[in-house]
């Protein structure tokens, strides 16, 4: 498990999304990531920039 700086940031982001999700497809994707730190990190390790 990643214990480096920022580790809690992406886990906290994941948890926040899980709490606030309203879209069923997105919810299913988030549920499928549960317990998979690599998948969560890949999805939430940084903010998107446009």
How many helices (DSSP H) and strands (DSSP E) are in the chain? 3, 0
Residue 47, sorted as left (phi over 0), alpha (psi -120 to 50) or beta, turns out to be beta
| pLDDT at residue 2, as a whole number | 47
Residue 41 burial (CB count, 10 A): 18
pLDDT tens for each residue of 1-50: 444 555 668 999 999 999 999 999 999 999 999 999 999 999 988 776 66
Which of 23, 49, 22, 44 has its CA nearest to residue 34? 44
Instruction: Please give the Cα distance from 43 to 10 (Å, whole number).
Output: 8
| pLDDT at residue 46, as a whole number | 76
| pLDDT at residue 1, as a whole number | 46
């Amino acid at each position: 498990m990643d214990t480096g700086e920022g580790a809690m940031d992406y886990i906290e982001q994941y948890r926040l999304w899980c709490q606030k999700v309203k879209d069923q497809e997105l919810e299913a994707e988030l549920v499928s990531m549960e317990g998979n730190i690599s998948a969560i990190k890949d999805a939430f390790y940084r903010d998107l920039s446009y």
